[in-house]
């Protein structure tokens, strides 16, 4: 039977309050109208429309039809009704109790985990105190490794042979192994590994064994090995270890064996050139062991699939493919382009074979194809500048590239200009840039600024001096061979260069001339130290003018007129005026005084004569070459009166000399009435 909230027994309320009084924390106690401990049938619950509320692990039944009325004691101890807001407060308190209980459970779990960690640490410490049997551990690892190898080979007999072969190889590779024993051991190894080379040659350890056999075996054994592995050449070239066996055969084999091995490359050259492992080996084979005919066959595979199996001795270059059949030009060029792009996308540029194909393609392809390849190649300009064919490709890129591409090329050279300048082939790249780049300000910032940092060493270098000479004496036959000049002319009148060649040359000369003269003034002895650099010095002096030129003449005159100056060339020490190279340079410089007079410039003869003291002249007349220099001064009639006055006291000494130069000088003095 239902009880209303108003008739709730007060005794139950008191009992509830007594239990809560024992708790240290003070809470507001809430009681409900009816406990759910009483048993109700399903019909009763539905009829009454009740709501279940849980509080302190007890369930209470609330009648929804009856207005909620909760009671609590006021300060006077009387029961008072609680509104609906009180119900919400009770629910919040219940939630707080649940949270506290959950926190206690989490704390308990963390403590358990800490205890587990401590126990694990104690176990580890106990294990660390125990000594590890390293020999046993090593033995177990070795056995496991052998088991895995045997499983990989799937043949216990082959695995046993490998173990025995490695043991025999240890005897074979010893330095004290006699030649007779080597032959016997290699035969034993060959008989053991015969018909199994294709299984063992791809592993690291056994590839070393096979290389040792190839190095020490007889000719017929090497022939047998090459015949067995020939069907697997392409697969071996793509293996990190097996390719070394092919290299050993090419190195130690006869010409017939080399031809057989290289023929195994045919049909897969492009595939091998685009593989990261085999690309370098194909290049090594091409440049080291290939004959001229085999090189042609290697190139032909880039021209299309029809040349992969069938070779043609008459097709020596790309242009020969469509020389007779013009209809094949587009198809051939598209095939070559596809093959080149395939390899360039992998970043393999340092290959003479690839660079040869690139150069032949750039010479005959369309403008669109050439521009596409230039964009791919412009960042590899340093790599290309290291070989003869690579430099030709680089020069083609420079000549036919846009201003933007040339800027990227120069930036790619930044930091490596000196190395490129002193390179056997790379210096030609800089000459092509000097002929093509219109932006001379950018050229000065990137290229010339690095040259200025070490002009002396560049001038002393066999190839570096050509870069300086090209800046001060562009394409003069005195310094450059006709073949070089003719090849450089191929880049003239290209579509991208708008500035006149004379204007470009003048701007570059103005940029480099000052630093060159400063270097000569600061280190005169070095710029006159050998026959090679003195001609470079002469070329620089011929383009100078003004104060810089006068200061350079002064420093050279002081060095030549000094009695202590010596020149050491090829372990031979010369007096300054007796050095043949410097003597030739001084003769040409004295002859150039006539041109300087026309320009109203101060001449070298006037400055040198002013430094010739009686002591210096007395020493000079002892040398044949020095006498000829003095004769040249008299013939040029530059400061002749001053020179004759200085030479007049030395006529008696000249009569005692027997050199050809002294006798001619004496004759010149008598003709000019110096007696």
CA R_g for the chain: 49
First to last CA, the chain: 165
- Local structure of 77: helix, strand or coil: coil
State the average pLDDT over residues 596-603: 88
> Exposed e or buried b for every residue in 614-633, given b needs 16+ CB within 10 A?
eebbeebbebbbbbbbbbbb
Contacts of 40 (CB under 8 A, 6+ apart): 48, 50, 61
* pLDDT > 80? residue 15: no
* pLDDT > 60? residue 38: no
* Residue 128, pLDDT score: 57
* Residue 45, pLDDT score: 43
pLDDT category of residue 140 using cuts at 50, 70 and 90: confident
Distance CA 337, CA 372 (A): 10
For residues 33 and 87, the answer to whether their CB atoms sit within 8 Å is: no
Q: Greater confidence, 87 or 320?
A: 320
* pLDDT > 70? residue 30: no
For residues 390 and 399, the answer to whether their CB atoms sit within 8 Å is: no
Q: What is the pLDDT of residues 611-649, one digit of tens each?
A: 988 888 888 888 889 999 999 988 887 778 888 888 888
Min mean pLDDT across 25-39, 47-61, 456-470, 502-516 is at 25-39
Distance CA 527, CA 523 (A): 7
* Residue 35, pLDDT score: 43
Min mean pLDDT across 50-54, 147-151, 366-370, 387-391 is at 50-54
For residues 348 and 379, the answer to whether their CB atoms sit within 8 Å is: no
State the average pLDDT over residues 655-675: 80
* Residue 154, pLDDT score: 62
* pLDDT > 50? residue 37: no
Distance CA 320, CA 338 (A): 19
State the average pLDDT over residues 519-539: 92
Long-range contacts at 541-548 (CB < 8 A, ≥ 24 apart): 541/589, 541/592, 541/604, 542/472, 542/473, 542/592, 543/472, 543/473, 543/509, 543/513, 544/513, 544/517, 545/599, 545/601, 546/601, 548/513, 548/514, 548/517, 548/518, 548/521
pLDDT category of residue 150 using cuts at 50, 70 and 90: low
Distance CA 51, CA 68 (A): 11
Min mean pLDDT across 63-67, 215-219, 608-612 is at 63-67
* Residue 153, pLDDT score: 61
Mean pLDDT value across the chain: 83
* Residue 131, pLDDT score: 60
* Residue 327, pLDDT score: 85
* Residue 21, pLDDT score: 46
Relative orientation angle of helices 179-193 and 219-229, to the nearest 10 degrees: 30
pLDDT category of residue 573 using cuts at 50, 70 and 90: confident
Give the whole-number percent of the chain exceeding pLDDT 90: 51
* pLDDT > 90? residue 667: no
Per DSSP (E only), the strands in 527-624 are: 566-569, 572-575
Distance CA 673, CA 675 (A): 6
In this structure, the dihedral spanned by the alpha carbons of residues 318, 323, 324 and 330, taken in order and rounded to 10 degrees, is: 70
The H or E element containing residue 60 is: strand 58-63
Q: What is the pLDDT of residues 431-457, one digit of tens each?
A: 999 999 999 999 999 999 999 999 999
* pLDDT > 50? residue 607: yes
Reported as half-sphere exposure (CB side, CA atoms, 13 A), residue 445 has a value of: 8
The DSSP result for 438-496, as a single string, is --HHHHIIIIIHHHHTTHHHHHHSTTHHHHHHHHHSTT-TTTS-HHHHHHHGGGTT-SS
* pLDDT > 70? residue 351: yes
What residue spans of 154-178 are helical by DSSP H? Answer: 156-172
State the average pLDDT over residues 596-617: 89
* Residue 18, pLDDT score: 47
Distance CA 165, CA 213 (A): 11
* pLDDT > 80? residue 73: no
Both tokens of 201, joined, read: 């040659």
Distance CA 545, CA 365 (A): 47
Distance CA 567, CA 582 (A): 9
- What is the widest separation between alpha-carbon atoms in the chain? 165
* Residue 111, pLDDT score: 79
Distance CA 416, CA 75 (A): 96
């Amino acid at each position: 039977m239902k009880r209303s909230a108003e008739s709730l027994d007060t005794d139950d309320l008191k009992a509830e309050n007594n239990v809560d009084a024992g708790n240290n924390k003070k809470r507001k106690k809430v009681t409900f109208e009816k406990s759910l401990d009483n048993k109700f049938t399903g019909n009763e619950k539905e009829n009454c429309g009740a709501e279940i509320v849980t509080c302190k692990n007890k369930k209470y039944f609330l009648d929804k039809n009856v207005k909620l009325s909760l009671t609590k004691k006021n300060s006077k101890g009387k029961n008072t009704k609680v509104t609906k807001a009180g119900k919400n407060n009770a629910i919040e308190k219940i939630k707080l109790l649940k949270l506290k209980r959950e926190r206690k459970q989490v704390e308990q779990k963390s403590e358990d985990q800490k205890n587990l960690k401590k126990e694990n640490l104690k176990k580890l410490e106990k294990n660390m105190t125990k000594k590890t049997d390293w020999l046993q551990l090593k033995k177990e690892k070795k056995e496991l490794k052998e088991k895995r190898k045997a499983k990989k080979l799937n043949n216990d007999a082959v695995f046993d042979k490998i173990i025995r072969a490695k043991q025999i190889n240890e005897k074979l590779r010893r330095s004290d192994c006699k030649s007779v024993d080597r032959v016997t051991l290699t035969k034993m190894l060959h008989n053991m590994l015969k018909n199994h080379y294709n299984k063992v040659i791809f592993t690291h350890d056994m590839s070393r064994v096979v290389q040792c056999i190839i190095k020490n075996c007889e000719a017929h054994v090497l022939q047998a090995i090459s015949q067995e592995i020939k069907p697997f050449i392409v697969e071996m070239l793509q293996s990190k270890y097996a390719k070394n066996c092919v290299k050993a055969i090419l190195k130690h084999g006869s010409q017939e064996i080399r031809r057989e091995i290289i023929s195994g490359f045919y049909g897969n050259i492009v595939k091998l050139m685009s593989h990261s492992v085999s690309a370098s080996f194909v290049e090594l084979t091409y440049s080291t062991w290939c004959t001229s005919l085999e090189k042609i066959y290697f190139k032909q595979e880039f021209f299309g699939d029809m040349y992969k199996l069938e070779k043609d001795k008459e097709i020596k270059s790309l242009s020969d493919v469509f020389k007779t059949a013009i209809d094949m030009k587009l198809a051939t060029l598209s095939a070559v382009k596809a093959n080149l792009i395939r390899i360039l996308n992998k970043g393999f540029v340092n290959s003479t074979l690839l660079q040869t194909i690139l150069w032949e393609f750039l010479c005959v392809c369309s403008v669109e194809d050439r521009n596409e390849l230039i964009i791919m190649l412009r960042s590899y300009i340093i790599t290309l500048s290291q070989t003869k064919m690579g430099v030709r490709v680089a020069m083609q890129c420079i000549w036919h590239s846009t201003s933007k591409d040339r800027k990227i090329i120069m930036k790619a050279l930044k930091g490596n200009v000196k190395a490129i300048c002193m390179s056997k082939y790379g210096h030609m790249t800089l000459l092509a840039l000097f002929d093509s780049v219109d932006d001379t300000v950018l050229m000065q910032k990137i290229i010339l600024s690095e040259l200025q940092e070490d002009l002396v060493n560049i001038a002393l270098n066999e190839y570096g001096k050509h870069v300086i000479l090209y800046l001060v004496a562009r394409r003069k036959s005195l310094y450059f061979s006709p073949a070089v000049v003719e090849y450089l002319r191929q880049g003239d009148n290209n579509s991208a260069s708008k500035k006149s060649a004379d204007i470009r040359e003048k701007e570059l000369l103005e940029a480099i001339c000052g630093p060159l003269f400063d270097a000569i003034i600061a280190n005169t002895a070095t710029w006159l130290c050998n026959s090679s650099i003195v001609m470079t010095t002469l070329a620089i002096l011929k383009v100078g003018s003004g104060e810089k030129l006068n200061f350079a003449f002064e420093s050279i005159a002081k060095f030549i007129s000094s009695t202590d100056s010596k020149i050491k060339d090829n372990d031979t020490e010369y007096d300054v005026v007796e050095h043949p190279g410097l003597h030739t340079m001084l003769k040409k410089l004295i002859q150039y005084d006539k041109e300087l007079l026309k320009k109203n410039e101060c001449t070298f003869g006037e400055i040198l004569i002013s430094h010739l003291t009686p002591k210096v002249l007395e020493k000079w007349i002892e040398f044949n070459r020095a006498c000829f220099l003095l004769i040249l001064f008299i013939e040029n009639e530059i400061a002749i009166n001053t020179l004759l006055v200085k030479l007049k006291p030395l006529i008696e000494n000249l009569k005692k000399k027997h050199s050809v130069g002294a006798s001619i000088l004496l004759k010149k003095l008598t003709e000019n009435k110096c007696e």
